[in-house]
Amino acid sequence: MVMRIAVLGDFHGNVAALDAAMKEIERARPDQVAITGDLVMNGPRPAEVIARVRALEAAGALVVQGNTDIAVADFDFSAAFPWLDEVPDPYRAVAEWTHEQLSDDDLSWLRRLPAERRIHAPQMLVLTCHASPGSQTDGLPADLDPSVLVQRVTRTDARVIVCGHTHIADVRDFGRRLVVNPGSCGYAFDGDPGAAWALVTVDGDAVEAELRRTAYDAVPAADEVSARGLPGDVYRAATIRTGRFVR
């Protein structure tokens, strides 16, 4: 039995990118949708993103919480950004603005999201997480020290790990572990501003992953961010527009 899983996440409040990706995903007709967190912070339309994701969850999508979701819901900046000795004021400002755009019910839902979800595909376990197994903040970047990488990917028995956090699309097969990071759907860092997602196909004990990119007009979302006028919005807008991290 073949199972197809669409993976996407890191929307960061960019509903235009999410909508574009979902139109293409719906045409692909996957058996399962997995959403890897970081739903609302930075972009211009956090409430709309929450509405879309909650509707997807109601239809069967599996959703996990990202580190910036913690910052927005609870202002626990040390938990959200443990690698920073001091959290910059622009991070605090955009988290507070995003918090204010969400209803109490949406904030409660954001807090309740789990850190991990598991998909029991035929003959194979698939783990959905934000950064890596057991962590919402310890990512799996391509330049990670190999010994640290092995330690992080072996914190699960899952054959397939689907994650986000780095905003860089990536598929790596370590034999007993396949890591699939679709990249960021709404706030890419890898030079392509398109809405990123991935399609994972499990067929018995075989698995394949395809990285996909859906083109959309990123300029209106970038312009909305620029017009908002929060500290750092000029850089956030440039990141959305170019698909490269600008700071």
Q: What is the pLDDT of residue 1?
A: 85
SS3 assignment, position 154: coil
Query: Mind listing the pLDDT tens digit for each residue in 86-103?
Result: 999 999 999 999 999 999
Say which residue, 1 or 125, is predicted with more confidence.
Answer: 125
Q: Counting Cβ atoms within 10 Å, is residue 236 exposed (0-12), middle (13-18) or buried (19+)? A: buried
* CATH architecture label of 2-242: 4-Layer Sandwich (3.60)
Using the predicted structure, report yes or no on whether residue 122 has a pLDDT greater than 90. Answer: no
pTM (2 decimals)? Answer: 0.97
Q: Where are the domains of the chain?
A: 2-242
Q: How do residues 173-223 score in pLDDT, each as one tens digit?
A: 998 999 999 999 999 999 999 999 999 999 999 999 999 999 999 999 999
> What's 66-133 look like in SS3?
CHHHHHHHHCCHHHHCCCCCCCCHHHHHHHHHHHHHCCHHHHHHHHHCCCEEEEEECCEEEEEECCEC
Instruction: Please check the confidence at residue 151 and state whether its pLDDT lies above 90.
Output: yes
Mean pLDDT of all residues in 22-51: 98
Strand order in the sheet with 62-63: 62-63, 32-35, 2-8, 195-203, 206-214
